[in-house]
Structure 1
Amino acid sequence: MKHIALPLMTIVIMALLGACTKSASYQEGEVYHGFQLIENRFVEEVNANCLYFVHEKSGARLMKIAADDANKLFSVSFKTTPADDYGTPHIMEHSVLNGSKNFPVKSPFDQLLKGSLNTFLNAMTGSDFTTYPVASMNEKDYFNLMHVYMDAVFNPLLHSDPNILKQEGWHYELDSLDGDIVYKGVVYNEMKGAYSSPERELDYQIYKLLFPDNTYGVSSGGYPSAIPKLTQAYFKEFHNTYYHPSNSFVLLYGDADLDQELSFLDQNYFNAYETSDKVIEIPLQAPFDAKKTAVKPYSVPLESETEDQTFLSYNFVAGLNTDEELVMALDILSEALVNHESAPLRLAIQEAGIGKDIYAWVDNTMQNVFQVTVQNANLEDQEQFDDLFFNTLKHVVDSGFDTETVEGIVNRMEFRLREGNTPQKGLMYLFALKNSLLFDENPFAGLEFEKPLAAVKEGIKNGLLESIVQKHLIDNPHALLMVLEPQPGLENELAEKTTQELAEYKSSLNQEELEQLIADTKALKEAQQKEDSPEALATIPMLALSDVSEDVQWYETVEKSVSEVPVLHYNDFTNNIVYANLFFDMHALPKELIPYGRLMTELIGKLNTENYTFGELDNALNIHTGGFYTYLSSYLENNSDDQLLSKFVVTAKATEDKTGQLFDIASEILNHSKLEDVERLKEVITRHQSQVESEVKNNGIKYAMTRTTSYYTNRGMFNELTDGLSYYNFITDLTDNFDKNGAEIVEKLQQTASLLFNKQNLIAGITCSEENYVIYQQELKKFIGTLPNEKVQSNTWAFDFEVKNEGLTSSSMVQYVVKGYDYKKLGYEWDGKMQVLNQILSRDYLQNKIRVMGGAYGGWAQISSTGNALFASYRDPNLSETLENFDAAPEFLKAFDVDSTEMTRFIIGTISNMDRPTTASQRGSMAINNCFTKQTKAKLEAERHAVLTTSVEDIRSYEEMMADVLAQDVICVYGNDQKIKDNENLFMEIKSVTN
């Protein structure tokens, strides 16, 4: 038969029609492998047939989104409604993944992370449901993942093995008669880390008071002090109650064969169950008679300043999450009332000088919660905040919202809904469906946004937003004003209380009970150290190397030129959206202005310009673009730290017909922002400082890792100056001394802008089709004509490196421990086999030592082609013990010995990290990255070949390199102030991360 070549678009359309025709053949009312098809509906918003089934025998519900997408997703979800703070749903989520009937290994989850081609593999616990999603582009792998996850949730070993709860939840640990009893457990320490965040504590206290009578008033993740109340009997009963098919919902997404999926699920799992008559329901919280006010504490380190550290938060229970129009309107309201640059409540709070930042968001629990929070305020601001809040709302109701502001917000929302710019479409739809699946009679409602969007747009014309403000905010008694104030040393007090409770518990035990606890501790550790048998490991399904493609994901740009400015064009179908980037070389700045370059990314787009007020500018961006962002990015040519490229990046997206408006606005922002407007400048810098401070308190691992690499690499130092503690200190000093140094700050910002935003300092990047490029080119040419065109001097930054080995103290209840160095400085070179080394150290050695045995939430290695070799732990109760485990890694490598099957598993897991689904915009970014770093397809192919041919001997050969790296003894620890002080001998310097 003669082969006829068809245009690409024809092939795509035929594939879509084929998928639609196949799924359309399923008839409503018919039963397929035990599943009765309730409805087969084509949903325009996802461009696919969506088929809703109920399994007749077990009561399980299932939806298939029959999209023509190779990145297939399977998830099984359960409504989980805890009645206490024990964290049972969260611990259950961890525990079911620790061995099951058909896969009796210690952690099938970790085995899959080691050796599957998954593109997504995780599990998540929300306030009212728990979900287990997996995704893969390989069909064999997809069904393997489905099998392991289904067996995990329905046949877990937790019923017969109490060590699982002990490891993943909590247990008493005692090593000797004269030792102290301590709490250990992965989730216990995870939540200690989570509740080190004042924002997490704020949410806990808010929901505890807003929902005293239903599940939303407790912590599904677990409140640290309550987790040790969870017993094995209670735990098992929770699983029996909630993990039944009748309480489950399965989502299938992508191009896998539906008949095969249904057959597999029926024959292997659901056919073994009968429908349960137990219905999991959440009673509605009765509204309050009157608004509540509460003041609660959160911890800051001893001797910390408490001024400007209080949170003021207004919270309203507003309708049901099944009201799609209300939910959408509330989201718009959060932007129009608070988050927009010229939102009335934001302006009122700024003018009154209350706090440094204000933000709003909507939590779509069964009963929506509309939240408005001011951070960096003071306790004495409470009364003024209360009055100002409601006076502003009343004014809004009387005068109405600015129509242009609302139009822009709706446009941005609509753009986001239609674009769906994620490679994990199945995961996106899972969360879109969550509320309609749990609470709505129409399971499709979460996907079908067009109808509520049209209703909201029409309603806005008739005062919808104003009526919501009146009904759900002003007249709503189901409201809470929560004040969260700092209390220095509170965490140490709580730690001391826990120590005292454990001491009292120990004193209550007799000799025999103490010896039993010691024996139990030893037995748990032995179980954790015991390796899975070859027979058990053989049950975990895996692919063969022959299932793995030798092809690399390679994307490259075509270099063009517009008005003598280089343009990097990545040609791809983008559905008539242009993804535009402007790269301005940061090396135009002298070293002392580097932090100002970062600050500039936070300022432009938020300031007044010659032709726009900052509010009008926000409106224009919302109306004409799908996003406009500025940030710094760094690249290493040929992976060499001595060839650092740092770029000030402007990235924006818009539909093709609005490319001109996009560049007009970009020109206005870059050329005509009023940096000399000190009043507005102070407002934005103060807000930014508040946001950075919040990040410093909540993201210990980021700051510890950045600080560590700043001790010895150019890129690390650049990141430290622009996004590390050094930058935090810089921006805090600017804020504290703005009134005194305002003129100097303006001068440096103007100098920074004039050096950066120059035609000769620019490279443009674009992801779009050739057809769209024609218009892009015309508009880019006009834009370039607006830029200054002056000779640029490129500065070489000479950084002074110093190993500081710092202990960074905070009120955190856990530690983030980092150790590492640049192996290239020690004479070693990158090899693709190091990617497998990284997989083995992370998924095998550190996973076991740091998480399973140490009780931390996570531990991993990060060995990169740039030279960095880092070990890190996350939400870790330990400190010196973790460093000892890091230092023992070379011994692990020396003794490393696995069979060919296990080695294949590690190799396939490594490939999984290399092969990911992508969107057009992501492919464009990867292509530009390849250009800047001088990456080539040949290099990537050589690396992939190295990975696929890695041997046990190769891994052993890295013992010397890792020993040399660790021998440099370069560390940084972010953690609890007392814990760090107790280990002061490890540090050259101890300092607080804030104040």
Structure 2
Amino acid sequence: MELNQVYSGFRLNRVERIDEINGTAYEMKHEKSGARLIYIDSPDTNKVFNIAFRTTPSDSTGVAHIMEHSVLCGSRKFPLKEPFVELVKGSLNTFLNAMTYPDKTMYPVASKNDKDFHNLMDVYLDAVLYPRVANDPEIVMQEGWHYELDNADDELTYKGVVFNEMKGVYSSPDSVLERQIMHELFPDTTYGVDSGGDPDFITDLTYEQFQEFYRVHYHPSNSYIFLYGTMNIEEQLAFLNDEYLQHFDAIDVHTEVGIQQPFTEGKIVSYPFSVGADEGTDNKTLHALSYVLTHMTPEQSLAYEVLTHALLTSSAAPLKQALVKAGIGSDVTGYYLDSIRQPMWNVTVTGSEMDKQQLLQDIVESTLKEMVTNGLDKELLEASLNSIEFTLRENDFGGRPIGLAYVIRMMDQWLYDMDPLELLHYEEALVNIRQGLSGTYFEDLISQTLLNNTHKALVSIYPEKGLQAKKDQAVKEKLAAVKANMSEDEINAIVEQTKALKIRQETPDSEEALESIPLLELSDLNPNIEDVERREQMVGDTKVHFVPTFAKGINYTGFYFKLDCLTEEDLFYADILTDILSRVDTKRSYEELSKDINLNLGGFTADITAIAKDGTRDEFTPLLIVRSKALHSKLADLCRIVNEIISESRFTNVKRLTELVQESKAIWDNEAFRRGHTIVTQRVLAQVSGAGKFRDSGNLGYYQKISELATNPAALPLLPEKLAEVAKKIFRSNNLDIMFVGEEEELAPFIDMITPIISNWSHDVVPGNKLVMTKQATNEAIVTAGKVQYVAQGGNFKDHGFDHKGAMSVLEVILRYEYLWIRIRVQGGAYGAFANFYNDGSMVFCSYRDPNLTETLDVYKELPEYLRNFNLTDREMRKYIIGTMSSLDLTMTPSLRGPRAMGLYFSGTNLADKVEFRKQVIACQPQDIVALADVVESVIKDNHICAMGNEEKIKAAGSTFDEIVSLPN
């Protein structure tokens, strides 16, 4: 392709090689429609397409978010109620979603299959450019909000998917804080409102306002199109032009993001957030000090990432330490944000009190001034720079398409008419920043952008009991007043509207409409699975597992310590160990250790997991896994550092342990509601399996115990002895399997390095104990100040004589995107619901951000009848099978290959078993789904349930639960 030439209506304006991502970028503009396009040609078969629009709302009705949901509910060529859902059911996509940001909305898809990729593009383009919602208000009623009134005498209520989703978002205190930060910093721009929607304002949105927002923002002239990967680009350009863009004429768009004029002085404000009537309020205040910065170059942005890591992220972070030592709060975090028009820098403290508000600003600014005056710790900065550089070079996003990461990053400048490709280059910036370590580069950056910066806000949110109850009552009174002012005809119109919407939701799409969605053939599916080679050898009394992988000069290691040597009581201390390893002193201070880790490694983590034995009812391998990664040239440092942490960590500093315990509690206090679906599903499975109880002990069980410990000063001095005792049981060479991922020639050096290390570790035999978990036997409801619920029910089908089969994975997809989707999301107004069937026999259903509770349990109860009447055409069955296979086929990056191999090893699963399971999926027939009705019915009758959410809803459920508890104080 040649510069300045036109290809299918696209003029090629720029070609640029980007070595950092091994790709060549082609920047174009469609002359007739005004659409912008960038294609990155890269030898990657995981192709990505994205179309984005600059969406700049002027209020908090959530119009941009509701638009994102609504355009995916039917279009010109695909006249179904929800083409997006049909795609999820029957596509081999590696990514399929849509995302609303403060100033843009993105519609990305990815697939390795050429035909599938084309189909995904076609459906998404038709959705955003020719949506049914432009002339169908019922879609906005369903996805946004509407009045609900089944009978004229009923109470008037609100219902809507986004309305309830955002009620869930606003139930987490950190979301409330973030909303208020943006409101205070950007009162005159689009960032001052919530593009996702504030539940207090969503119900102000009218359909006419919605239509006008679409007209202004969803034109190709306001679009940003992205293609990535190995493809015939001229064919793709011809498709874009012929099917879509040639039918639009370019227009002037005025969706620019406005600039907030700098403040002449900072703000200090505070707002309440709601906690449950039985929840404590001590140490639950959050403070955030945030600065709006001047325009930052890509190099300065990268430098700010380094600076933020150095000052706030690592264990050695001096600003974090200063705030913790001053007693301002239990946990200190912060971030640099450059994905908005005016970048911002933030320091947040949790686990605090209101009287510490001003102290936060005083300490942050005095510490920064001192650092500028005396100079920053250059070794600390170098360590943080190395950590950031490692992440850039590793370029691993945990199996997600890498092209998606590129376009998200590019939009951080493309959206504001700046050079999008500039952000994909980083080599020159790294050189300049590294050279700056010898001078005052970072000190100057702080001086120029933070000190004397008056465009700042100190925002605090404090807990208030009963606040949600007051708000709920105010909404009830408002709705009662609205209804009281309606005429009889208006009330009857709402009743008819409610009935009409429910009929629409319950009426299936026609066969003709369903067949409009293009579909692959079963012959496109591959029952085989990539074999991850694993070779093992003994080094002393330790088994080393080698997973040969080309990983661009990086080695990944995992030290797998078995926990069956522990008692159930010990597990709590093992969980604490995973929180504090590398964050307490060894033979040197934890600050020095942290620098060493960041200077030489790409990361160090510890976590606890349970891997179920394949085909068994209640057997599992409990593990504490220490993971680390480094360039091969730094492998000796990796071995040295892991050895130091494992064998020399000291648990004697009670003050440091107290800080870490309180930090852990503060994190849980803020994130508990967001983790609601995990909490309730694990709570249910704790009733029916040992592995479930084990996982719950590290989830809500851990939160409960860490809260007790954090608020009991008398117990903290006993912690060092318990940690040392449990560590001694775990960290033994004869209790260890080691994973090593790298190339063939890298294994022998690793063996040579690790052999003398593990030979010096304990070889003791711990007598007697085989970990036995006491299952939870209580149906429980967890009361919060949340506005919505998470509702789970489940059990174990092996208790009833059933085995795990491929049809169960197909049923997961059917339930998530058909039965539960329609009953709980579409009709019930929840954000979503899902079902999981595990190979140890565990089965669980769960709703997510759900306005209902007992109604959702009724939906679960009615599932067996749905299954007994289940019948699908061959085409629809094929769709579910394809969607299931897509969920089973995760991209294996170098970092994921080792854990997959180790998971197969500890579960006792072989490749043939996996292939057989996949063949069962591909061969699944409707009668196989019908046969699962007995499985589901037997488990539902066991009546293992757990819910978490609104106090009023839970108490109204009465005898549904054996016990009602609150989140820990």
Bin the TM-score by the shorter chain. over 0.9
Q: Give a deviation string over 1:227-277, Cα, whole Å, max 9, x none.
A: 011111111111111111111111111112111111111111111111111
Trace 1:235-634 onto structure 2 (pairs within 5 A).
235-320=210-295, 323-364=297-338, 365-422=340-397, 423=399, 424-610=401-587, 612-634=588-610
Report the secondary structure of 1:180's partner residue.
coil
Report the secondary structure of 2:518's partner residue.
coil
Whether the 8 Å contact between 1:556 and 1:930 is mirrored in structure 2 is: no
Whether the 8 Å contact between 1:656 and 1:775 is mirrored in structure 2 is: no
2-structure distance, mates of 1:877, 1:490: 18
Report the secondary structure of 1:717's partner residue.
helix
Q: Give a deviation string over 1:546-597, Cα, whole Å, max 9, x none.
A: 1112322332411122233111111111111100010011112222211111
Whether the 8 Å contact between 2:284 and 2:666 is mirrored in structure 1 is: no
Aligned to 2:633: 657
Whether the 8 Å contact between 2:8 and 2:238 is mirrored in structure 1 is: yes
Residue identity matched to 2:43: D
2-structure distance, mates of 1:838, 1:301: 34
Trace 1:560-959 onto structure 2 (pairs within 5 A).
560-610=537-587, 612-722=588-698, 724-737=699-712, 739-793=713-767, 795-959=769-933
Whether the 8 Å contact between 1:576 and 1:772 is mirrored in structure 2 is: no
2-structure distance, mates of 1:330, 1:177: 59
2-structure distance, mates of 1:856, 1:719: 26
Q: Give a deviation string over 1:833-877, Cα, whole Å, max 9, x none.
A: 211122112211001101011000001111122211111100000
Report the secondary structure of 2:26's partner residue.
strand
2-structure distance, mates of 1:383, 1:694: 21
Aligned to 2:22: 47
Residue identity matched to 1:585: K
Aligned to 1:189: 164
Report the secondary structure of 1:331's partner residue.
helix
Aligned to 2:127: 152
Report the secondary structure of 1:804's partner residue.
coil
Aligned-pair distance for 1:303?
A: 4.1
Report the secondary structure of 2:15's partner residue.
strand
Aligned-pair distance for 1:946?
A: 0.8
Aligned-pair distance for 1:440?
A: 4.3
Q: Give a deviation string over 1:87-126, Cα, whole Å, max 9, x none.
A: 1111100000000000000000000111111111000010
Aligned to 1:224: 199
Whether the 8 Å contact between 2:468 and 2:785 is mirrored in structure 1 is: yes
1-structure distance, mates of 2:597, 2:316: 13
1-structure distance, mates of 2:333, 2:592: 19
2-structure distance, mates of 1:79, 1:428: 18
Residue identity matched to 2:333: Y
Aligned-pair distance for 1:604?
A: 1.2
2-structure distance, mates of 1:475, 1:491: 39
Residue identity matched to 1:637: K
Identity of paired residues, percent?
Answer: 36
Q: Give a deviation string over 1:946-985, Cα, whole Å, max 9, x none.
A: 1111111111111111111111111100001111111122
Q: Give a deviation string over 1:588-630, Cα, whole Å, max 9, x none.
A: 22222111111101111001111x2111111000011000100
Between 94-103 and 838-847, report the one with greater CA deviation.
Answer: 838-847
Aligned-pair distance for 1:708?
A: 0.9
Aligned-pair distance for 1:326?
A: 2.1
Whether the 8 Å contact between 2:319 and 2:367 is mirrored in structure 1 is: yes
Report the secondary structure of 1:269's partner residue.
helix
1-structure distance, mates of 2:7, 2:315: 54
Aligned-pair distance for 1:298?
A: 0.7
Residue identity matched to 1:290: E
2-structure distance, mates of 1:553, 1:888: 39
Between 671-680 and 794-803, report the one with greater CA deviation.
Answer: 794-803
Residue identity matched to 2:247: A
Q: Give a deviation string over 1:296-329, Cα, whole Å, max 9, x none.
A: 11111124322211111101001235x2122112
Residue identity matched to 1:434: M
2-structure distance, mates of 1:352, 1:493: 36
1-structure distance, mates of 2:768, 2:924: 42
2-structure distance, mates of 1:90, 1:461: 47
Aligned to 1:107: 82
2-structure distance, mates of 1:934, 1:678: 41
2-structure distance, mates of 1:865, 1:725: 23
| Structure 1 consecutive aligned stretches of length 4 or more whose deviation exceeds 3 Å | none
Aligned-pair distance for 1:441?
A: 3.1
Aligned-pair distance for 1:287?
A: 0.2
Structure 2 length as normaliser, TM-score? Answer: 0.98
1-structure distance, mates of 2:246, 2:428: 38
2-structure distance, mates of 1:163, 1:461: 63
Residue identity matched to 1:96: V
Whether the 8 Å contact between 1:434 and 1:446 is mirrored in structure 2 is: no
1-structure distance, mates of 2:316, 2:20: 32
Report the secondary structure of 2:614's partner residue.
helix
Aligned to 2:93: 118
Residue identity matched to 1:437: W
Whether the 8 Å contact between 2:688 and 2:842 is mirrored in structure 1 is: no
For the aligned residue pairs, the C-alpha RMSD in angstroms reads 1.2
Unaligned runs of at least 5 residues, structure 2: none
Report the secondary structure of 1:150's partner residue.
helix
Whether the 8 Å contact between 2:741 and 2:898 is mirrored in structure 1 is: yes
Aligned to 1:15: none
Report the secondary structure of 2:867's partner residue.
helix
Aligned to 1:61: 36
Aligned-pair distance for 1:894?
A: 0.8
2-structure distance, mates of 1:461, 1:236: 56
Unaligned runs of at least 5 residues, structure 1: 1-25
1-structure distance, mates of 2:536, 2:318: 46
Report the secondary structure of 1:708's partner residue.
helix
Residue identity matched to 2:349: V
1-structure distance, mates of 2:420, 2:287: 37
Residue identity matched to 2:647: N
Whether the 8 Å contact between 1:856 and 1:876 is mirrored in structure 2 is: yes
Aligned-pair distance for 1:792?
A: 3.6
Report the secondary structure of 1:829's partner residue.
coil
Whether the 8 Å contact between 1:984 and 1:990 is mirrored in structure 2 is: no
Residue identity matched to 1:601: T
Q: Give a deviation string over 1:436-463, Cα, whole Å, max 9, x none.
A: 2112432211211222232222334321
Structure 1 length as normaliser, TM-score? Answer: 0.96
Residue identity matched to 2:624: F
